[in-house]
Amino acid sequence: MSELRVIRRMADLTDQLQGSVCAETDAPDPLVQEYIAFGQKEFFEAVSTLVEGFWTSIESGRALQLERAMKSAARLDQSLNRLERIGKYVRSMSINASVEASRAGEAGKGLAIIAQEFKVLAEEVQQLTLSAREDIEKLDTV
């Protein structure tokens, strides 16, 4: 018998017993015995099977969500690594531009300003990647 049919049968038996009690007649012993026996075996097993199925479904969904989150975290980690490399490269370029600007003297003032802006940009990239990594670490501990 499927679990739902077993549960339906238990509901029908409950209705029969209730009908007997509401009619103010004594419930026949065979009906009470059938109700108890059915409740202790088939009904209990059917409900247990349904609940087990629910938990299995929930766990399966959780596992899928966890797998997706892990893949997203791996992609995010790759992006952060690339962003860190870009930040280091921009910082290195700003240092080189500063050196060339100082060599050029008065003619290199414009280049010095650009080099300073690239340095600020590189520092901001480094701070953003650091902040993102800290946020990810907080998620790992939850």
The structural domains of the chain, with segments of one domain joined by +, span 3-141
**Confidence band (pLDDT; 50, 70, 90) for 29?**
low
Q: How far is CA 97 from CA 53, 100, 113, in A?
A: 65, 5, 9
Q: Is the pLDDT of residue 43 over 70?
A: yes
Q: Is the pLDDT of residue 49 over 80?
A: yes
CATH architecture of 3-141: Orthogonal Bundle (1.10)
Question: Which tens digits make up the pLDDT trace of 80-132?
Answer: 999 999 999 999 999 999 999 999 999 999 999 999 999 999 999 999 999 99
Model-wide pTM > 0.85: no
- Quick one: what percent of the chain has pLDDT higher than 70? 89
